Structure 1
Amino acid sequence: MKPAPTSNLQPAPSHAVLTQAAEWYARLRDGSASSHETARWQAWLHAAEEHQAAWQYVEDISRGLDPLRTTVDPRQTTHALTKAHARLHTRRRVLITLAALASGGTLGLLSWRQSMLPASMLAWTADHRTPTGEQRTLTLADGTQLWLNTASALNVHFSASERRIELVQGEVFIETAHDETRPFLVETPHGRMRALGTRFNVYLNEAHTQLDVYAGAVEIRTASSAISRVVRAGQQSRFDRADITAMATAGAAREAWTQGILVADNIPLRDVVQELRRYRPGHLGVADGVAELKVYGSFPLQDTDRVLRMLASALPIRVEQPLPWWTTLESAR
């Protein structure tokens, strides 16, 4: 999880300030802090807007992770969440029907849903979804194989005329089954992809969709323009609603995750940490002084604690954890 700016004018808090906020939270959370320590914290908190933004970020993460850890009966909480999901799933089906009648087309429906409903709700009510740290393998009715990555969600729409996947959040690797009569389509808020008998990976984030093709080819068509492009095996491309980037080489990492492996080939530690955040609840940060250290190797995505130990043994860094859900990588010097 990465801190977001609190407004359009204020940047995200720095790593150093976030670390200070976490240290203060660790001192104050058990209620045993002296009046002197509380006064020092208040002085720190009100010394800068950046401090307040960092403190809010720490509190937000704490609230997000506390319920299942502190509830009297975790099974009761899980049951309540499951019932809530069932109600939302039924409601989503009603909304989809109404939207389809109003929009008059598939792309109109997708646009309506993405603009009117929060991304978190779309993910929570999706046909298939994974929580942070979990991966799933799915076999669709036509024999198509899907690998759904961590914190991901998608909907499946099959009809007599098409096979369509709507990626709501995260990442999916697809190996399509042959069907001469029905095209295989993948939609994101940025546009539509049409598989031409292929194996490919689709990774969605807020700014763009990334497509890596490993066999066959995939045609991209952007959502708000008539721009289209065919991406062939061994190629990668990114696109947003209006444009498609130039081709690059398909990355090994976007295929290796289906085997539970994070591949790092001379990439900055900052990028490795950014990828690990997707598989680890809570905060994972890296100090600016070590963020550009180059990382090589293959790491097990299902055990992020082990990955951090491996990184600390290979690089001049140490792992700091002032709170169970707050981890940072600092210089060992």
Structure 2
Amino acid sequence: MTEHPLSEAEYDAITDAAAHWCMRLHAADCTDAERQAFKQWHDADPLHAFEYEAMLEIWAVADHLPRVESTPTAPARRTQSRWSRLAVAAAVLVVGMPLVAYTGWNLGWVANSYQRFEAGASVRHITLGDGSQVELNLGSELVFANYKNERRVTLKKGEAFFDVSHDKQHPFVVRAGQGQVRVTGTRFNVWMYQDQVRITLLEGSVRVTSNQALTRDGLPLSPGMQASYKAGDQQPQVRETDANDSSLAWRNGKLVLDNLALSDALPLINRYLDRPVMLADNSTGGLRIGGVYNISEVQNLVPSLPKVLPVYLTRNKDGNPVLNSIGQRPATH
């Protein structure tokens, strides 16, 4: 961990290393040994992790810049092309190349505003560059980019409630998992855990797509409806929410489990944990749990489960807690 101010050369070296690892980890021929070396570098200093996250954002912009074609027999030329696009994207983000930035904006490749937000141990209220209001749940992260043809949010992890400023000519798109939500102005919630995504609509209208590559329009939702999808779904599952729906209880600092099967409750619980809780088998997942919990204290819920359910805790080889149901004891005569 760095404990002294870095010189410009030292900082540049970290930035160069971040760019190198960004390139290698996106390469098809990246080896397991390289991935292990990257992890060691990434974890060695918080500044390494910070610079790598920044480089990932530049990489996302680079994907919108035009590719330079090269022959299949020239891997070095392809690598140089990718580096060039990465350099152009970096220049655009720091407004170091006004002409490229202007051209990229007009073609819809490059954003003229780019923001990254994180929420740590408390809910965070933020204002995006377009004036839209967002509440970020604990441990959540998103990126906002303003393009000529749309306003784009990528929810990288966690949960967010959006109050979108209306602009019919400039749609607001939230990418989450493999799908997305498209709106012009409305209020809605997006929850994501691993490859599962759930959208709850309060006001206005949205269109939900479970796979960004399938269709642009998606399925329409009206207020009081909820859509959910996971990786591989061809279209979202849509249902109406009931009067007791607790999807937005987190905005009041609460996690509400309304007599849910453990298999349904664990994704809601695990969203707040560093190590997700696993199920030993399907019968354990069928046990039901209820209660209201403070989202800042969900980590205390796991060790208390054996006190309220017929389960006991073990750990798997990766160190994750595992819930096991206690079978009925044989009858004695």
TM-score, scaled relative to structure 2: 0.57
Q: Structure 1 residues 270, 97: closer, same or farther in 2, change over 3 A?
A: closer
Distance 2:62 2:148 in 1: 21
Partner of 1:101: 65
Extract unaligned runs of 5+ from structure 2: 1-38, 69-85, 87-114, 329-333
What is the TM-score with the length of structure 1 in the denominator? 0.57
- Per-residue CA deviation, residues 149-203 of structure 1 (Å, 9 max, x unaligned), is 3443321012465322122333322122334553222123533322243221223
Aligned match of 1:266: 259
Structure 1 pair 178–307 and aligned structure 2 pair: CA distance change class (3 A): same
Between Structure 1 and Structure 2, which shows a larger proportion of helix residues?
1
1:188 and 2:179 equivalent? no
Q: Distance in 2 between matches of 1:86 and 1:280?
A: 22
Is 1:296 the equivalent of 2:290? yes
Counting only pairs closer than 5 Å after superposition, residues 151-230 of structure 1 correspond to structure 2 as: 151-159=139-147, 161-179=149-167, 181-205=169-193, 207=195, 209-221=197-209, 222-226=211-215, 228-230=218-220
Whole-Å separation in 1 of the counterparts to 2:155 and 2:246: 19
Q: Which amino acid aligns with 1:232?
A: S
SS in 1 for 2:285: coil
Provide, for residues 202-247 of structure 1, a one-character-per-residue CA deviation record: whole Å limited to 9, x for no partner: 2345545432212221112442223622111111123467732342
Deviation at 1:303, TM superposition (A): 0.8
Q: Spell out the pairing of 1:73-88 with structure 2 (5 A cutoff).
A: 80-81=45-46, 83-88=47-52
Equivalents in 1 of 2:276, 2:228: separation in Å? 27
Partner of 2:96: none
Q: Are the aligned partners of 2:158 and 2:271 in contact in 1 as well (CA < 8 Å)?
A: no
Shift of 1:262: 1.6
Superposed counterparts of 1:1-40, under 5 Å: none
Q: Structure 2 CA distance, aligned partners of 1:257 and 1:100?
A: 35
Q: Secondary structure at the match of 1:197?
A: coil
Give the aligned residue type for 1:300.
N
State how far apart, in whole Å, the 2-side matches of 1:242 and 1:296 are.
Answer: 29
CA contact (8 A) 1:223 1:241 kept: no
Deviations 1:251-274 (A, max 9, x none): 734312232322212211233233
- The answer to whether the 8 A contact 1:237-1:244 is kept is no
* Count of aligned residue pairs for this structure pair: 236
Output aligned runs, 1:242-321, within 5 Å.
Answer: 243-250=234-241, 252-288=245-281, 290-308=284-302, 311-317=305-311
- Supply the RMSD in Å over aligned alpha carbons: 3.9
Q: Which runs of 5+ in 1 are unaligned?
A: 1-63, 68-76, 105-112, 114-125
CA deviation after TM superposition for structure 1 residue 100, in Å: 1.6
**Shift in Å, 1:281:** 1.8
Structure number with higher relative contact order (C-alpha < 8 Å, ≥ 6 residues apart): 1
CA distance in 2, matches of 1:103, 1:263: 48
- 1:238 maps to which residue? 228
